[in-house]
Amino acid sequence: MWIIVAYDVCTETKPGRRRLRRVAQVCKNYGQRVQKSVFECQVNEMKFEELRRKLLKEIKKDEDNLRLYRLTEPRVDHVETYGLTRTIFFDDEPLIV
């Protein structure tokens, strides 16, 4: 399934800035950044639960905001993008690093 992870972490303090980096790193491990605080992730149900658990462990619910959106499949029928698009579809062809 495709999901969108969007977050807003309070960065007014040093711990908040560290938290922001940790949240971004968790997201990078599951998907790709499409905007500064927005990631697209293709995960199965188990990976989704794992991602949610890790993100909830990092954020402070009284200071931060975390949103997880499940996209209706097929994704290409429901997502419009304009401007610079850097989406990589890992299922289409092999990824060579």
Q: Is 62 annotated as a binding residue?
A: no
Q: Tell me the whole-structure pTM to 2 decimals.
A: 0.80
Contact status, residue 50 vs residue 57, Cβ threshold 8 Å:
no
Per residue in 46-79, pLDDT (tens digit) is 999 999 999 999 999 999 999 999 987 777 787 7
Please report the pLDDT score of residue 93 as a whole number: 54
Burial class (CB in 10 A: 0-12, 13-18, 19+), 40: buried
